[in-house]
Amino acid sequence: MKKTLIALCMLFVAAFNVQAQETVSQETEAEKQKRAMELMSIKVDMTVDTDLFMQVTPNTYVSESPKAVIMAMIVPETYENAKAKLESNLPAEFEVKDKGEKMMNGVKVIFMTGVSKAQGTTINSTVYCLKRDADTCTMFMGMSEVGADKKYVDAINAAANSVIKK
């Protein structure tokens, strides 16, 4: 199940990172992918409750039971492109419950909440995206199975708040 949650996160990231056909520069597809991988490997400053979550990569944490994932990454998108992709490029198995823009900790963020199913388990998901610089954004994803103890949901929210700051 841990692999399934991470796979769902990666599916969401893959859908988000589908490159648009219009290109400002003449980057090749290989160069775009290389840049995306380099950015995603940068450690995101994030505070995670390690009593509840185990680190599996520098920016990904999972819990055993209940199933939950916290993931953050830097993506090669402008804030406006990220906003457009979050509105149109979602995996089919993701049912959006709420989305939009809001202020969080004094920072304008794009957010989305929804539900997906994986191997018979229903998973609540939250995504935040905030501008990092002119060409990149920081994306945060938190997922937990429906019915997970509130302390896991609270830990996901606390991790999101640690990423989203001025």
Judge whether residue 102 has pLDDT over 50.
yes
CA angle at 8 for the pair 3 and 9, rounded to the nearest 5°: 95
- Measure the CA–CA gap between 27 and 31, rounded to whole angstroms: 6
Share of the chain above pLDDT 90, in %: 55
Question: 126 φ, ψ to 5°?
Answer: -130, 135
Q: What is the model's pLDDT at position 20? A: 40
Largest CA distance in the chain: 49
- Measure the CA–CA gap between 85 and 119, rounded to whole angstroms: 26
Q: What is the model's pLDDT at position 16? A: 53
pTM for this entry: 0.83
Average pLDDT over residues 32-54: 91
Q: Which residues pair with 8 in a beta bridge?
A: none
Q: What is the model's pLDDT at position 104? A: 96
Residues 6+ apart with CB under 8 A from 151: 52
Q: What is the model's pLDDT at position 134? A: 93
Between 131 and 3, name the one with better pLDDT: 131
- Measure the CA–CA gap between 70 and 14, rounded to whole angstroms: 17
